Amino acid sequence: MLHLTGDIVVEVLNTCAMYRFDEPMIDDLVNAWERDSLYQKWHKASVENVKQFWSTQTDCIYWQSLPTDVYDNGYWLINGKSNLYYNCVARHAIQTPDKVAFINYYDDPSMRKTITYRELDILVKKVVYLLIQKGIQKGDVVAFFMPTRIISIASMLACAYIGALHMVVFSGFSADVLAQRIKDSNAKLLLTLPTIRRGGKEIDLVKTINEVSKKLADNMPEVLYMNDIPDVPNVSLNIEWLNNQDEAFILYTSGTSGKFKGVVHATLPYMLYVSSTFKNIFAPKPDDVYFCTSDIGWITGHSYLVYAPLFWGLTSVIFDGTPLYPTPERYWEIIEREKVNIFYTAPTAIRSLKTYGDEYVTKHNLSSLRVLGSVGEPINETAWNWYFHIVGQKRCPIIDTWWQTETGGFILAPLRNMSQQPCVAGRPFYGVNVSIIDNQLVINNAWPGKYKRILNQNGMYNSVYKSGDTAKLVNGEIKITGRIDDVINVSGHRLCTADFERVLSTMPEIIESATVAIPHEITGQTIVVFAVLASDTISTHEELNIKIQQQLRKSIGAIAKPHKIIYLDDLPKTTTGKIERHKLRELALNN
């Protein structure tokens, strides 16, 4: 076993200041033209010599064994050995033990809890002990059905400690979704809580878990309720030092074919990518308070709520409630009280909060804010303007970050302190060579954040990564305009029309169905379902509407709520039998 003494850790951290650029920071340059040309110069150099660029980004990682090469023939960080828990918790627990790692806000507005790096370290070790007791080893998959709370994050880090893969399922998803993902990933253990709260309502997770257990029968993993964690007896818990191919986690998302896919990330390149993108794009200062409103169930919650801010030893606010409960000023109250400097949220939240009027925002002192981030979907002009003028008081740049579960971290973002083009995701990150081919955004080269594999799928990847998003150039910057496939985006959640159609096909009353997405003021896109009924259906449309909604809620989750359900005698089809979705979309828009 390896003994890492405090001295070694402090020495490593001292060589690793927050900013270590050999050239001036882009922020330090006053002239916009100068900044732009510096970016162009750096970006060009970084994609021409990817290895050299990434080798400048590896020094802040604590390496158990230094990599002998940064990149070689499709592989990153050759012969390197490190650990995410160690970089995100252990070293800070030694260097800044009393610094607060997380300030947890809850759905219940009377609750607030903080945890320091030292306390987080102790909590992680308690969970590690529990996992080991349950026989979890390196490479095993641990499923999570937990909200965004300290205990959930400590448990993710406990997996990292021993090299187990976490597989987090958003706690608002249904028993069906949870069961499918547990089965597909062959999870050995399921971590959850007996109850959670959302929007003032208590949600009984035990009920959901019992349903999952019925569905999975013999394949049901052991369930651990994480509300009461015993102390660790005095034993030594070995950190698993991982190599460049060892995997960190699985996260499911909607694929183009309508089947969910388990995206797997490898630990070391993922750590390099999220730490570097976070530092360079958001440029946090050591004493900043950072607030990312994502849930841990999404990739944003993994990369920029758990791993990147902890890697840099920051203090983060996390929140397990909704922005509207009990009032639409939850976010603004929290920002004022905690003096948040960097705030990262989704356009759907901005649009929804805007409808309640400016006063909820302006009555709070938000002068601590310095950077405003956006993610999950294109930010439209009204939302951008409100975010910039009302929330940021024209003081804060809007950092619209474009990326995906598969990319691990930011691919596009605007430069800070540049004159801002509203609603434009901006420029490619250093070392990433992006172009637009047939309207589609593609990535031409390798970058460390790219997923390692898709679970249970074989096949080599093409050297060019196709994003599935359409894009165009606006004054030299990239604007994301939509999707090329049937993936839809409701409130920043990635769904697929085929998911809906599969669920509806299980209802005896429905012979055929098709789902289309239409634009929606608050949620970005919304779903309209078209259904053709069996001739012997006796239920009324009102009754069927309720049944369809219940079925979708049960099979997918509350986010799968159709905006409208339209009954047709037949679906419009081409002579070759393909559903004419553009006609349905027109019908949906005019109905």
**Residue 432: which of 462, 408, 454, 453 has the closest Cα?**
408
**Residue at 127: amino acid letter:** V
CB of 136 to ligand PRX, least distance (A): 27
Task: At 168, list the tokens.
Answer: 């987090």
Cα distance between residue 169 and residue 175, in whole Å: 10
Residue with Cβ nearer ligand PRX (276 or 300): 300
Cα distance between residue 94 and residue 97, in whole Å: 6
Cα distance between residue 119 and residue 107, in whole Å: 23
Helix 117-133, helix 150-162: angle, nearest 10: 60
Q: Does 91 bind ligand PRX (CB under 6 A)?
A: no
Q: Does 499 bind ligand PRX (CB under 6 A)?
A: no
Helix 175-185, helix 205-216: angle, nearest 10: 50
Residue with Cβ nearer ligand PRX (329 or 477): 477
Q: Does 469 bind ligand PRX (CB under 6 A)?
A: yes
Helix (H, G, I), strand (E, B) or coil at 385: helix
CA distances (Å), 281 to each of 116, 285, 428, 482, in order?
Answer: 26, 12, 11, 23
Among 163, 221, 309, 376, binds ligand PRX (CB under 6 A): 376
- Percent helix, strand, coil in the chain (nearest 5)? 35, 25, 40
CB of 431 to ligand PRX, least distance (A): 18
> DSSP letters of 158-205?
HHHHHTPEEEE--TTB-HHHHHHHHHHHT-SEEEE-SEEEETTEEEEH
Q: Does 403 bind ligand PRX (CB under 6 A)?
A: yes
Q: Does 277 bind ligand PRX (CB under 6 A)?
A: no
Cβ-based neighbours of 540, under 8 Å, separated by 6 or more: none
Residue with Cβ nearer ligand PRX (223 or 484): 484
What is the per-residue binding string for ligand PRX in 115-154, x denoting contact by CB under 6 A? Answer: ----------------------------------------
Helix 175-185, helix 541-555: angle, nearest 10: 30
Stretch that binds ligand PRX, among 8-16, 95-103, 298-306, 574-582 (CB under 6 A): 298-306
What is the number of residues in the chain? Answer: 591
CB of 54 to ligand PRX, least distance (A): 21
Cα distance between residue 176 and residue 282, in whole Å: 37
What is the per-residue binding string for ligand PRX in 383-402, x denoting contact by CB under 6 A? Answer: -----------------xxx
Half-sphere exposure of residue 570: CA atoms within 13 angstroms, side-chain side: 6
Residue with Cβ nearer ligand PRX (80 or 301): 301
Q: Does 405 bind ligand PRX (CB under 6 A)?
A: yes
Q: Does 404 bind ligand PRX (CB under 6 A)?
A: yes
Q: Does 375 bind ligand PRX (CB under 6 A)?
A: yes
Q: Does 319 bind ligand PRX (CB under 6 A)?
A: no
Stretch that binds ligand PRX, among 4-12, 308-316, 371-379, 548-556 (CB under 6 A): 371-379
Q: Does 246 bind ligand PRX (CB under 6 A)?
A: no
Q: Does 483 bind ligand PRX (CB under 6 A)?
A: yes
Residue with Cβ nearer ligand PRX (378 or 428): 378
Q: Does 300 bind ligand PRX (CB under 6 A)?
A: yes
Q: Does 425 bind ligand PRX (CB under 6 A)?
A: yes
Q: Does 377 bind ligand PRX (CB under 6 A)?
A: yes
Q: Does 486 bind ligand PRX (CB under 6 A)?
A: no
Element (H, E) at 54: helix 50-55
Question: In the bound complex, which residue of the shown chain has the CB atom lying closest to ligand PRX?
Answer: 405
Q: Does 477 bind ligand PRX (CB under 6 A)?
A: no
CB of 78 to ligand PRX, least distance (A): 28
Residue with Cβ nearer ligand PRX (328 or 414): 414
Q: Is the dihedral of CA 254, 258, 261, 263 positive or negative?
A: negative
Q: Does 451 bind ligand PRX (CB under 6 A)?
A: no
Please give the residue ranges that form the binding site for ligand PRX (CB under 6 A). Answer: 253, 298-300, 375-378, 400-405, 425, 467-469, 480, 483, 489, 494
